[in-house]
Chain A
Amino acid sequence: MAAYRNYLLVWLALLVLTGATVAISYFELGLWNAGAALFIASVKGTLVALYFMHLRYEVKLVLGFAVFPLFILALLIVGTLMDNLFR
């Protein structure tokens, strides 16, 4: 039962965060809009990964499989921007 309750709590947190990101979007904050939205999305994504996807309780190897690709994705974005921003 404890497991079920944790999932419900995570789900509630995700709903609250969704509400917050929608609310923020109605204010004009310039670049901070994007920053806040991405930050909240990342928090939500992390919550889903840690609890719904059990990463919090995973062995290190699986954790590595989950995290390493993010690094490669960052390389793709940074490398492309390195050209696009300074062309």
Chain B
Amino acid sequence: MSADAGNKHAGAPVSARLGIWAFLATELLLFGGLFTAYTVFRISYPDLFHLQHLKLNRILGASNTVILLTSSLSMALAIAAIRQGQRKLMEIGVATTLFCGACFLGIKYLEWSEDFARGLFPRSNLFFGLYFVMTGLHGLHVILGMAVMVWLLIKGRQGVFSGDYNTPVEITGLYWHFVDIIWIYLFPLFYLVG
């Protein structure tokens, strides 16, 4: 009855995968409350949402989407690399991901400071309240992910990870992809269809 029976999976043990997926379930419902609030207010105030969303910069949002998607790619490649024992390649992948994360936050910072300069604050209206809270919470997750990746790089330098042991890399990757998926939804909801 062991859950590992019929494991088609080369990487982390099933306990670690179940653990991180259960954690992602929690994260999903944490953001889920916000998505629910978005749906409710979007339906109640369609005009407000339409007018306000035009104030966001679509191109910057799209760039950030591309950056995060690329970071997911580099993370996936890093995991594939370490599974084959290629430490150097893994480090390059993680470092690229880290770099993309930093770019994402940089652009986010530019957007926010422009919003503040134009007098758009969380309290301005419900749309911007949701926008700042949701992208803010998402940004916190990006920062957290980046912190873990710095740790991965340090451990990687010490030669901790190998083709046989790479669970932390894979777990971090799953978390990072999840954060990416959240953004995949945030981007159209705020920038495109508001």
The reply to whether chain A is a binding partner of chain B is yes
B26-43 near A? 1/0 per residue, CB < 8 Å: 001100110110011001
Asked if A53 contacts B174 (CB within 8 A), the reply is yes
* Count: A-B pairs, CB below 8 Å: 128
Q: Which residues of chain B are within 8 angstroms of A4 by Cβ–Cβ distance?
A: 77, 80
Q: How far is the CB of B107 from chain A (nearest CB, A)?
A: 15
A36-54 near B? 1/0 per residue, CB < 8 Å: 0110110011001101111
Asked if A54 contacts B9 (CB within 8 A), the reply is yes
Count of chain A residues with Cβ under 8 Å from any Cβ of B? Answer: 45
> Which stretch in B124-132, B151-159, B177-185 binds the other chain?
B177-185
Q: Which residues of chain A are within 8 angstroms of B14 by Cβ–Cβ distance?
A: 59, 61-62
Q: State whether the Cβ of B8 lies closer than 8 Å to any Cβ in chain A.
A: yes
Q: Which residues of chain A are within 8 angstroms of B110 by Cβ–Cβ distance?
A: none
The secondary-structure label for the interface of chain A is helix
Asked if A41 contacts B22 (CB within 8 A), the reply is no
Q: Which residues of chain A are within 8 angstroms of B181 by Cβ–Cβ distance?
A: 44-45, 48-49
Count of chain B residues with Cβ under 8 Å from any Cβ of A? Answer: 50
A2-17 near B? 1/0 per residue, CB < 8 Å: 0110011011001100
A45-75 near B? 1/0 per residue, CB < 8 Å: 1001101111001110110011011101100
Q: List 13 A-B contacts (CB under 8 A).
A: A3-B80, A4-B80, A18-B65, A37-B189, A38-B188, A41-B187, A49-B181, A52-B75, A52-B76, A59-B8, A69-B24, A69-B28, A77-B35
Closest 9 CB pairs of A and B: A37-B188, A69-B25, A25-B192, A65-B21, A11-B73, A73-B32, A34-B193, A52-B76, A45-B181
18 extra A-B contacts, CB within 8 A, seeds A22-B192, A25-B188, A53-B178:
A7-B77, A25-B191, A37-B192, A45-B185, A48-B72, A48-B177, A48-B180, A48-B181, A52-B72, A52-B180, A57-B8, A59-B3, A59-B8, A65-B21, A73-B29, A76-B29, A77-B39, A85-B43
